Amino acid sequence: MEGFEVSQSETGGVSILCLKGYLDAHTAPDLENAIQRLVDKKTYEIVVNFTDLTYISSAGLGVFMGFIEDVRKNGGDIKLTNMKPKIYRVFDLLGFPTLYDILDEQQTAVDRFSKN
């Protein structure tokens, strides 16, 4: 079975979610729960690091669609970083780069929060 893991940490007051494995319709609820837990704690500055993510389907992208409005309304953002080309292509095909901050490096995303 292809698994999925999401781990949470904090850097400079920004919450970091690191994704690992396969994000599809089966595993998307795990990511949804992780972001929901942050939102419940009124944590709205979130960076999602994709370094160890091997696969994503639109069910995974849907999780980011579901939260972004709420997070931005509260002055925050969900920034996406460190995607492999194969993962970025899926976001790109669906037009996400015009609406989401997708960056090469996690630290750049963290810095961008502190500048705003």
Partner 1 sequence: MLTKPVNTLPKTQKKYQLKLPSQAGNLSIIRGLVTKVAAQVGLDADEASKIELAVDEACTNVIKHAYGNSQGQMLDILIKVEKNKLVIIVSDKGKGFNPSRVKTPDLSESIRAGKKGGLGICLMKTLMDKVDFEIKPGLKNQVRMIKYLT
Q: Note the residues at the interface with partner 1 (CB under 8 A).
A: 1-2, 22, 24-26, 55, 57-59, 61-63, 65-66, 68-69, 86, 90, 93-96, 98-99
Which tokens in the block code for residue 99? 């609406």
Choose between 67 and 110: whose C-beta lies nearer to partner 1.
67
> What is the bridge-based pairing of β-strands 14-23 and 4-11?
antiparallel
Q: In the complex with partner 1, which residue's Cβ is closer, 19 or 110? A: 19
Shortest spacing between CB 4 and partner 1, in angstroms: 10
The nearest distance, CB 106 to partner 1, in angstroms, is: 23
Task: Give me the least distance between CB of 47 and partner 1, in Å please.
Answer: 19
Nearer Cβ to partner 1 (51/107): 51
Residue 4 is encoded by which pair of tokens? 């999925």
Structure tokens at 5: 């893991």
Alpha-carbon span 88 to 102, nearest angstrom = 9
Alpha helices in the chain (DSSP H): 28-40, 58-73, 85-93, 106-115
